[in-house]
Structure 1
Amino acid sequence: MKKRFVLAAMLAAAPFVASAADNGLSYTYVEGGYAQANINENFEDFGDVDASGGYLKGSFEISPSFYLFGSYAKASDDETIEPIEDLTVRLEDDLTQAEGGVGYHMAWGESVDFLAEVAYVSVERDLKLAAHFEGELIDRDSATIDQKGGRAALGVRGGNDRAEGWLKIGYLGGSDFDGNFIGTLGGQYKFNATWGLVGEVEVMDDVTRYTAGVRASF
């Protein structure tokens, strides 16, 4: 009786296992490329932050259902204003974001996976202000904003051997964050089983992040 039950369970699970293996969605990859962060705020006479830089991201499947992932991005923005004659004020804004976590995926059909992720997030922002009068430095100030917290997200990922897309809705919170919902939309065009072009946009409150790069899947 037990053998029949085990055999029936294996036969019932077989279509889901096959779809997870054949849908072309790899959870082991590395990627990197261009990153941009837009922050809607105003430092008196300075406008919104429009920082650009680069990023690295990776994922490693540790079982048929679970994977580890991480990312690192660094971007910077420089703004200069001249409030009065012969006085120049420059603001340097450097942003660094790192993330690491674990994810779960389950086949929802032949070409769609359900996703669930939890991650630790670290965001550091270095601000440097310098004032020059007639070309001579007269004042300098700096500040660092260091925020740490956690992110949880649910989503879907689907596609085929040529292209795929993903959508995730999450929440970022912790002692250093006020708590905000995050929406992530991304996609990949695949040249072959290994190489592809990827793009992603992430929106959270007044912050919008864009990435575009190359992914190698294994």
Structure 2
Amino acid sequence: MRKILIVAALLAAAPFSASADGLSYTYVEGGWSQVNTKDDGFDDPKVDGGYVRGSFALAEQVHVFGGWSYGSKTYHYSNAKLKLELNQPELGIGYHMPFSDRVDYTADIAWVRQQAEVKADFDGFGRITDKDHTNLVRATMGLRGKPSAMTEAWIKAGYMDGGNDFEGTWVGTLGGQINFTKTWGLVGEISGYRDVTQFSAGVRASF
């Protein structure tokens, strides 16, 4: 939490170019994602895959957003094959307001569904499939700004809860973008809660 506060303070205090383009809340992006889980009993499992995400500005200070990520990993044993799959769709609405000339304060709330599925193929015994899902509500607030005309950074912190199926926990996100043009840029993001960390890297088109 201390590191998050330090980064937020630096972002708010950074000098900004008067010629820098404004922040866009209408964009689409996609790329690679990975989910890591700290679990000594299962040798810190992780799943690799991809994601798509988008946002659309409904009004000057309101936007809606959604996304979907998928990851999988296959384990091979002497007489069996085990495949783990993780699907995570989300849908939400956000609010933003100017914090300075090139920094916005942001707040959002989203529905998130985590669905895990395990497929086990045993030689001579066929396949066994097991799946489970959890519906969550996540609320965050943070800062989003442009340290320079061709870069962007954001930081968010909040809380996520799933009722009886998922005990509430704090969440945090740190991300950035390098623009090649006004429309196209490379994005990277890291988010986490408890012992779970998710990385993503992709291409964004802003409008």
TM-score, normalised to structure 2's length? 0.85
In the alignment, structure 1 residue 80 sits paired with structure 2 residue 76: yes
- The 1-side partners of 2:103 and 2:36 are apart by 31
| Counterparts of 1:73 and 1:196, CA distance in 2 | 20
Residue number among 48, 67, 89 corresponding to 1:98 in the alignment:
89
Q: Following the alignment from structure 2 to structure 1, what is the Cα–Cα distance between the partners of residues 77 and 58?
A: 51
User: Does the 8 A contact of 2:21 with 2:182 survive in 1?
Assistant: no
- Percent identical among aligned pairs is 41
1:139, distance to aligned residue in structure 2 (A): 5.8
Q: Is 1:122 matched with 2:113?
A: yes
- Cα distance, 1:204 vs structure 2: 1.1
Q: Does the CA contact (< 8 Å) of 2:107 and 2:140 recur in 1?
A: yes
Paired residue for 1:200? Answer: 189
One of 142, 150, 158 as aligned partner of 1:155: 142
Q: Distance in 2 between matches of 1:167 and 1:94?
A: 28
1:66 to 51, 62, 71: 62
Please state if 1:172 is matched with 2:160: yes
The runs of 5 or more residues in structure 1 that have no matched partner are 1-21, 83-87
**Does the Cα contact within 8 Å between 2:175 and 2:187 map onto a contact in 1?**
yes
2:174 counterpart residue number: 185
- The change in CA–CA distance for 1:129 and 1:48 in structure 2 (over 3 A counts) is farther
Query: Runs of 5+ in structure 2 lacking a partner?
Result: 1-19
How many residue pairs match? The answer is 186
C-alpha distance in 2 between matches for 1:89 and 1:48: 20
Secondary structure in 1 matching 2:100 = coil
SS at match of 1:178: coil
Could you tell me whether the CA contact under 8 Å between 1:161 and 1:192 is conserved in 2? no
Q: Residues of 1 paired with 2:28 and 2:135: CA distance?
A: 24
Deviations 1:105-156 (A, max 9, x none): 1111111110100001111000112333xxxx33642211111020000110
Which residue number corresponds to residue 13 of structure 2? none
User: What secondary structure does 1:202 align onto?
Assistant: strand
Runs of 4+ in 1 over 3 A off after TM superposition: none
